[in-house]
């Protein structure tokens, strides 16, 4: 059995108020603690991925803020206190300052994070 804390998890992405802390847990899955300030649009950072969208699935829980998820099927807004599943093919937009935790397949998530880092320069 394993447990992790936000404070004990290394920062994988950081800049302009965005903070993503991520660690592998249980072998092939990662847990990420994410903070996005209001107005953060991940669209530009995801350009160049298939369909210019995140292709990694995520399961998680939104602690605070409102987050809009754009998909090929349309948009959906997530509110504090909601558990979620985001299938491959999504782009987040923070409508308010957001904090959430998500669980994702490590290999797929690492590809997305590496791509976002390359877009950040």
The domain spans of the chain are 11-120
pLDDT in tens, 11-64: 999 999 999 999 999 889 999 999 999 999 999 999 999 999 999 999 999 999
Decide if 64 contacts 94 (C-beta within 8 A).
Answer: no
pLDDT at 2: 83
Helix-strand-coil percent breakdown of the chain, rounded to 5? Answer: 20, 50, 35
For domain 11-120, give the fold.
Jelly Rolls (2.60.120)
Q: How far is CA 50 from CA 54, 67, 70, in A?
A: 8, 22, 14
| Type and span of the H or E element at 94 | strand 91-94
- Residues contacting 19, CB < 8 A, separation 6+: 11, 13, 33, 34, 35
Is the per-residue pLDDT at 98 higher than 70?
Answer: yes
pLDDT in tens, 52-72: 999 999 999 999 999 999 999
């Amino acid at each position: 059995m394993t447990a992790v804390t936000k404070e004990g998890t290394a920062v994988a992405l950081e800049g302009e108020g965005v903070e993503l802390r991520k660690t592998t847990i249980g072998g092939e899955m990662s847990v990420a603690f994410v903070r996005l300030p209001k107005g953060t649009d991940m669209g530009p950072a995801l350009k160049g991925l298939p369909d210019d969208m995140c292709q990694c699935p995520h399961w998680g829980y939104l602690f605070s803020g409102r987050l809009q998820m754009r998909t090929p099927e349309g948009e959906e807004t997530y509110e504090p206190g909601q558990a979620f599943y985001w299938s491959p093919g999504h782009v987040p937009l923070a409508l308010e300052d957001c904090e959430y935790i998500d669980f994702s397949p490590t290999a797929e998530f690492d590809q997305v994070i590496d791509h976002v880092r390359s877009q950040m320069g």
